[in-house]
Amino acid sequence: MNKKEQIYLQTGEQLLYNYRTNLDLFTYYSSAFEELKIRIILEMRYEDGKEMRNTDINFLAYLEIKNRCQVPLSFSLSLVEQSKKGDAISTYLLGEFYSLGLFPFSNNPLKAFQLYKEASSKGCKYADYRLAECYFLGKGVTTDYHKAFEIFNKIKTLETNYYLGQIYLYGLDITQDIDRGKSLLESCIDNKEAKFILGKEYYLGKIFSKDNNKALLYLEEAKDDGCLSSYLYLGLIALDSEEYDKAYSYFLKAKEKEAQRYLGDIDIKNNDINSAMLHYEQAYKLGDKEAGKKYAILLNNSDSPFSKRYAVNIMSTLVDYYPELNLILYKAYYPKKKRLAEKYLKAAINNKDKEAMKISLLSGTCKELTNNMIMQLSDKEKEEFKDLSDEEKEENRKIFLRIK
């Protein structure tokens, strides 16, 4: 750090001390803003005189304001005034406050994007990073990976490597380059999200060759750095190794809705139906359809008429996603609501549900449809229906159809 930069940093530290000591001295900060805005940064890190590693750096006062969750009125008015006069840094900081929704500024991603764009056009490099981030994440603007790539590629710092790495890794509006994407993400040694992405992809095995050991290494580091998303995949790795207690502990800490479903699955394995139902219900309420299916099936298997009716309601909303529910719904409605039951039986037959086909042949309902579907089966599969095509004893037919 050269002498000029040291002076700027010392000035910033003094202003930070004054601001902490007496909030009224913020007017002093406003008067010193022109001097402060160039380089007064708390988290500046230099490597051998190279460009700053952290482009997502804010001014000392901004960091203090963020921690206080509000912006002093005198300072907000000063920023607005200076922004109108064409000051790029003031415009950028206004964008930050609108992005964070710090009082008296409302949370307004569109307004923040517009301010970042304006500040960027005036040469504010901090705004460049935020602008590219908006394009990448779709915050205040339609997602545009190409524009994000252009801006990030112009900035070229370790922080931009996190986003550039994802663009190359997943081929987001550019030719996919897995090796380059991986290399860029690996360069983000302090970025827990980059470690998480690498760990996740090693576990999934779609982009990299599946490697649970490498996945575990990256995910553990990301977890230790505070990445909560790591818990889900650490739980899945433990589940793959049949370490159910460890998996359970990880899923309990995970924030994703799928974690609740996996907890329910382990409960089922441990024959704890009540706990499983609670976890499946929680996951379903969070939007996990598969958990909803499992929850409904457990409800339907209970002795409670109310639970069975609730199960039917849930399954009715999920049947388009899980065709195997058609047969369960048929059995729920037959024989009280035969027309509705027939609807679900037809759907099950069209899904080549063999039990539904057998019911059709024995009952005579949708028999033509079933015969057409049987013709599409292999010779071996057709053997299952050979005896059912002839009339069977009434007693056996009633037992199969569950008619009392």
Q: What is the mean pLDDT of the chain?
A: 82
Beta bridge partners of 70: 103
pLDDT over 70 at 54, yes or no: no
Query: Whose CA is closest to 107, among 95, 115, 99?
Result: 99
pLDDT over 80 at 214, yes or no: yes
- Contact between residue 358 and residue 348 where contact means Cβ atoms under 8 Å apart: no
Residue 21: both structure tokens together:
């000591």
Number of helical (H) and strand (E) elements in the chain, helices listed first:
25, 0
Q: What does the alpha-carbon distance between residue 3 and residue 10 come to, in Å, rounded to a whole number? A: 10
pLDDT average, residue stretch 148-171? 91
Q: What does the alpha-carbon distance between residue 273 and residue 51 come to, in Å, rounded to a whole number? A: 58
pLDDT over 50 at 284, yes or no: yes
* Predicted confidence band of residue 67 (pLDDT cuts 50, 70, 90): low
Q: Which residue has the higher pLDDT, 3 or 337?
A: 337
Cis-peptide into 104, omega within 30 deg = yes
Domain chopping of the chain, boundaries: 1-124, 191-242, 256-318, 323-404
SS3 402: coil
pLDDT average, residue stretch 164-183? 96
Summarised one tens digit per residue, pLDDT across range 306-356 is 999 999 999 999 999 999 999 999 999 988 899 999 999 999 999 999 999
Q: Which residue has the higher pLDDT, 261 or 397?
A: 261
Task: Quote the percentage of the chain above a pLDDT of 70.
Answer: 77
Residue 277: both structure tokens together:
């139902």
Summarised one tens digit per residue, pLDDT across range 117-137 is 999 999 888 899 999 999 999
pLDDT average, residue stretch 61-70? 55
* Predicted confidence band of residue 62 (pLDDT cuts 50, 70, 90): low
Summarised one tens digit per residue, pLDDT across range 81-105 is 888 988 888 898 889 889 888 778 8
Residue 169: both structure tokens together:
């890794």
Summarised one tens digit per residue, pLDDT across range 223-278 is 999 999 999 999 999 999 999 999 999 999 999 999 999 999 999 999 999 999 99
Summarised one tens digit per residue, pLDDT across range 13-38 is 444 444 444 443 334 344 444 334 43
Summarised one tens digit per residue, pLDDT across range 351-388 is 999 999 988 888 888 889 998 998 898 888 888 877 66
Enumerate residues 6+ apart whose C-beta is below 8 A from 15: 28, 29, 32, 36, 40, 60, 61
Q: What is the dihedral of CA 132, 136, 142, 147, to 10 degrees?
A: 50
pLDDT over 90 at 4, yes or no: no
pLDDT at 69: 61
